[in-house]
Structure 1
């Protein structure tokens, strides 16, 4: 059976209607916009920009955010075109299956699992830590971990994951409504912080806008911690300058990972052809404005060197430096509220990718069973929540952070390429939204995403390689043999062989009948001549 077999769009849409394996369409434009903002505006808005400014880009971190947002917008246009043409759960996995074949679809699905599983675990871990910080501000001494049979367990991670797993099992729309409340609160906090910080801006802090490149201190681990591009070209590891700006863009791209997650909910969206593009782009616009606002305030309040000197630099660092420590308390609350909704959306996205892969037989089919009443994949949702809680509660998730970016970017690359392929193979397919200037913009999207991937560390690439090896093992040992599409093609081949054999047998019998008739005629003629 071919590794490159594709699943037709008609089959994908038909499968979304399969009884016992289908989802309920309840989400509108507002829900999708809130979902995008909910997952993208988390702790990162208060910390990622500070780290990128201090360690990589200086004041030009604003340009890093713009470059990351532009790259994300190009990829999201590709997602929007696909989602409007194939409104089925699974996001990049489903889109790749329809265009580039089963093996690549499996790889990208496996990458999406990596992205969402690690992101949900990282965020849940930090949620527990920031919950303890908020308790400290209130004067309550509540540790972030408890000792259970000799293990330090992050109890907060278990609690928040359990709450949102329960809500998602009860219904996607209910979860979306809860997320809306938290999202409005955290956007209000971010806007307040931007306005308050603007009063402390000093224009001289923006100079030099792109600091001169300087080599990083040599030491153990440099090979692993430098970007793959620097490793391949032999360039010495460096901070700042143009390459620092690009490395900063690779780091802050983490801020925009949520929008591919939104596309995983396509099967639960009302009128998806129009609703999905509107909701995704509205969310991206809001997030970009908020991140640029925060980065301008951050680098305007203090010199970037202050951020570089603090290993745990955040927006709070800037406020404390200018004597506005009160803002740090508000920021801590904002982080906690921000992280809350991120966890929910990532748990939703993870379960929907697993749901799509399970329904296609690449993972056990029993996982994709949905309830008759709520039409939610309760089994997968509970298993996903349990996996996230165990990783977040029991392990050091710090090593996983860059794995999130490489999983997202690899998905973006394949979706960008797949749009061009689908335009060629199915020009007749109705599309409510089309990427303009195709194939130029989709190809540019793929190139920019590859470039950002090359600016991730060699250690991240090594870990990514290990993850892919595990994925190949699972596919060839289980997925390929149980693929619904593969079994259908095999059954069709067997049926075709039976039909062909029946035709051959019919032809043989007909030939035998003709031969017998001819022999009879010849025999009768011989008898008459006598």
Structure 2
């Protein structure tokens, strides 16, 4: 609080909201430059599928099947229903406030600047740590592919971080740099590359299903739910995090050709497609290999083991490993895209340094922003064993999901007149259920996760009060000019 500022005035400054009209107007008139509206419905849908359909299905099945047995396919449905409550809220706000920034921008319009900052800060944790972890996983799958196809692997010294038997994780840096190259080419170009990768990884998963179904054994499904509802529910909680990423299209609010129509459709379509693939893969896997043969440790090769059991040959596993490499590269690309757009929105509001909103006049992308994000993620992925820190991404995501559901309720009450490309059905029950499910899953997370989350929030609050609060363009009035 600055000298001469009344306590009441200071408190009100933390709760100031940015009007939807101003958010949308600034979306096409930023000081650093304007993003280019070039993304179609197909590309937006592929962004969300690309950010969601990645390591989860390749890894999580091995962890979830021992908990639920063949009923694991219903666990995916249960998790999808949970995600659907948040997805519907995202769809309404994305169609109502079609700007960059996703849930950060929605919170700014509904819950105030401080809550928006905390939301954006949580998203930075989610995106940076998750994409670093995914990049590390990419190296593991690349090694699995090299080993199966050519009989060699990259030495641990240059493929693992310190503390995990290596010195630096070069493959993790490589995939981040490849994603950076595509992002700097332009939004449309990177979205096209992602769309191709999405179709390829869907094709690989359908290939898995086709091969696994040749070994279909109805007796493997006889004891359908051996652990009962408790097991099905436990597996549902585990696989829920395979759905994180469906909101990625909402970060492209200023690059969609028809955001009010396409953003809600992209979010809902991506969730439906991902759920259908998850259930189909789960059914094919448990029908081909008895559920008791799955390793609860969550073997990364669980799907490959199913193919080995089904065919007795190695070439299907090679195809699957290649698919995993493509799938994870797509996740890195789309999650990095989302993080740069959230920072772009926060910078335009004055809450982070202006370098993050500078847009290249020729390619219409935030170049410096993208390079800074890439360097930061590369360092995390190359030299830091992430370990349990990755769990903090889950709590940050759930927090953002809950805020979006609350935002729907607030905006319906404060601005019922706004044109909405999509409306949440069964309002207000649906957004309230979204909040409840998110809080339920947050409470179930471990104590270490809460400690990491709390420390991250404290660091974020310090950054806000030392920098963002004083430089907020909203505090400066309509002109947006703050005093030096």
C-alpha change, 1:452 and 1:59, in structure 2 (3 Å) is farther
Q: In the alignment, which residue of structure 2 is the partner of 1:201?
A: 216
For 1:493 and 1:144, locate their aligned partners in 2 and report how far apart those are by CA, in whole Å.
53
Query: 1:187-210 deviations in whole A, cap 9, x for unaligned?
Result: 111001112111223233334333
C-alpha change, 1:15 and 1:333, in structure 2 (3 Å) is same
- Which has the higher mean CA deviation after the structures are superposed, 61-70 or 148-157? 148-157
C-alpha change, 1:81 and 1:136, in structure 2 (3 Å) is same
Unaligned 5+ segments in structure 2 are 1-9
Contact 1:249–1:452 (CA under 8 A) maintained in structure 2: no
SS in 1 for 2:271: helix
Q: In the alignment, which residue of structure 2 is the partner of 1:141?
A: 152
Match of 1:345 among 324, 334, 356: 334
> Is residue 2:194 matched to residue 1:183?
no
Q: In the alignment, which residue of structure 1 is the partner of 2:3?
A: none
Structure number with larger C-alpha Rg: 1
Match of 1:415 among 404, 408, 412: 404
Unaligned 5+ segments in structure 1 are 213-240, 495-530
Match of 1:255 among 238, 242, 245: 242
Q: In the alignment, which residue of structure 2 is the partner of 1:268?
A: 255
Deviation at 1:472, TM superposition (A): 1.5
For 1:192 and 1:101, locate their aligned partners in 2 and report how far apart those are by CA, in whole Å.
48
Match of 1:63 among 74, 84, 94: 74
Within a 5 Å distance, the mapping from 1:130-529 to structure 2 comes to 130-139=141-150, 141-143=152-154, 145-147=156-158, 152-212=167-227, 241-308=228-295, 312=299, 314-322=302-310, 324-326=312-314, 327-488=316-477
C-alpha change, 1:416 and 1:175, in structure 2 (3 Å) is same
For 1:492 and 1:177, locate their aligned partners in 2 and report how far apart those are by CA, in whole Å.
37
C-alpha change, 1:453 and 1:301, in structure 2 (3 Å) is farther
Deviation at 1:45, TM superposition (A): 1.4
Deviation at 1:14, TM superposition (A): 1.9
For 1:40 and 1:491, locate their aligned partners in 2 and report how far apart those are by CA, in whole Å.
36
Query: 1:449-477 deviations in whole A, cap 9, x for unaligned?
Result: 22222232232222222211211121122
Q: In the alignment, which residue of structure 1 is the partner of 2:87?
A: 76
> TM-score normalized by structure 1?
0.83
Query: 1:482-513 deviations in whole A, cap 9, x for unaligned?
Result: 1111232899999xxxxxxxxxxxxxxxxxxx
- Which has the higher mean CA deviation after the structures are superposed, 68-77 or 186-195? 68-77
Deviation at 1:280, TM superposition (A): 2.0
For 1:463 and 1:358, locate their aligned partners in 2 and report how far apart those are by CA, in whole Å.
25
Query: 1:59-118 deviations in whole A, cap 9, x for unaligned?
Result: 222122111111222211111111111110000000011001111111111111111111
SS in 1 for 2:254: helix
For 2:421 and 2:39, locate their aligned partners in 1 and report how far apart those are by CA, in whole Å.
18
SS in 2 for 1:486: coil
C-alpha change, 1:200 and 1:455, in structure 2 (3 Å) is farther
Query: 1:116-156 deviations in whole A, cap 9, x for unaligned?
Result: 11111111111122112222223253415445999611111
Deviation at 1:302, TM superposition (A): 2.5
Deviation at 1:316, TM superposition (A): 1.8
Contact 1:46–1:331 (CA under 8 A) maintained in structure 2: no
Within a 5 Å distance, the mapping from 1:5-44 to structure 2 comes to 5-18=16-29, 19-44=31-56
SS in 1 for 2:34: coil
For 1:368 and 1:377, locate their aligned partners in 2 and report how far apart those are by CA, in whole Å.
6
C-alpha change, 1:243 and 1:370, in structure 2 (3 Å) is same
C-alpha change, 1:473 and 1:189, in structure 2 (3 Å) is same
For 2:208 and 2:448, locate their aligned partners in 1 and report how far apart those are by CA, in whole Å.
35
For 1:323 and 1:30, locate their aligned partners in 2 and report how far apart those are by CA, in whole Å.
35
Deviation at 1:160, TM superposition (A): 1.3
Deviation at 1:323, TM superposition (A): 5.5
C-alpha change, 1:74 and 1:131, in structure 2 (3 Å) is same
SS in 2 for 1:270: coil
For 2:218 and 2:365, locate their aligned partners in 1 and report how far apart those are by CA, in whole Å.
52
Query: 1:377-405 deviations in whole A, cap 9, x for unaligned?
Result: 11111111111111111122332332222
For 1:489 and 1:16, locate their aligned partners in 2 and report how far apart those are by CA, in whole Å.
14
Deviation at 1:24, TM superposition (A): 0.9
Contact 2:61–2:298 (CA under 8 A) maintained in structure 1: no
Query: 1:307-361 deviations in whole A, cap 9, x for unaligned?
Result: 1465526212333345635232222111111111111000000111111111111
Count of residue pairs the alignment pairs up? 465
Over aligned residue pairs, what C-alpha RMSD do you find?
Answer: 2.3
C-alpha change, 1:243 and 1:109, in structure 2 (3 Å) is farther
C-alpha change, 1:421 and 1:196, in structure 2 (3 Å) is same
C-alpha change, 1:87 and 1:365, in structure 2 (3 Å) is same
For 2:192 and 2:478, locate their aligned partners in 1 and report how far apart those are by CA, in whole Å.
42
For 2:229 and 2:452, locate their aligned partners in 1 and report how far apart those are by CA, in whole Å.
27
Deviation at 1:444, TM superposition (A): 1.1
Q: Which runs of 4+ in 1 moved over 6 A?
A: 148-151, 489-494
SS in 1 for 2:167: strand
> TM-score normalized by structure 2?
0.91
> Is residue 2:58 matched to residue 1:46?
yes
